[in-house]
Amino acid sequence: MPNHLAIIMDGNSRWAKARNLPRVAGHKQGAENAKEITKCAVKLNIKYLTLYTFSSENWKRGEEEVSTLMGLLKLYLERDANELIGNGINLKFIGDLAGLPNDIEALCRKVEKASQKNDRLQLNIALNYGSKQEIVNAAKKLALTGREITEENLEKELYTYPCPVPDLMVRTGGDQRISNFLLWQSAYTELYFTETLWPDFNMEELQKAIEDFKGRERRFGGR
């Protein structure tokens, strides 16, 4: 069983298009599914779950779509955070939170503080996240403080520290790339790609990914 599962949640727009629905309907269903998969992770005793929610490149989308995504994010945090916290989930937000709208940044900080003592599952929500910039920022911090640039020191400055690295990364929607997500952390992560669109990715699909993972021999660069 993976201790840390990371997911690139792709396919919301195609899910909506296939049903002749507006793109926002796909994003809404995708957000609902994120909550359901979090519950599945708890049932499977996965201890860390990282969801790629909004990348730093997503700002390039149309203004209306970005505004819709920010509105949905705020809605679901306000509506569902207490339920997640009540279920023992520790919520962490990774990424450049200062680049988010002020009200959403404040909400993220509030939710983090309210859930910080929970230990049933750590849910990392990647917002305004870009892994290349994360690594650059970490290196800059080391340089500014005069610390030696080593793997150990750099890892301590990543958004994800002290969370363990992912064991399994799943990408839904058919594309086979990791899209600037957890580049440093996924050096030895097992990758699993599925054609299933994110809103349709359920417990059965998650278990397929985990069974595939269990059948792999992880050598971490050795033979």
Give me the catalytic one of 20, 58, 80, 212: 58
Q: What are the start-end ranges of the E strands in the chain?
A: 4-8, 48-55, 89-94, 121-129, 168-171, 190-193
Is 10 catalytic? The answer is yes
- Show the 3-state SS of 50-95: EEEEEEHHHHHCCHHHHHHHHHHHHHHHHHHHHHHHHCCEEEEEEC
**Which of 108, 129, 7, 124 has the alpha carbon at shortest distance from 56?**
129
CB neighbours of residue 89 within 10 Å: 21
Is 212 catalytic? The answer is no
Pairwise CA distance, residues 45 & 39, whole Å: 10
Q: Which letter, b or e, does each residue of 185-201 get, where b requires 16 or more Cβ atoms within 10 Å of its Cβ? A: bbeebbbbbbebbbbeb
Residues serving a catalytic function are 10, 58
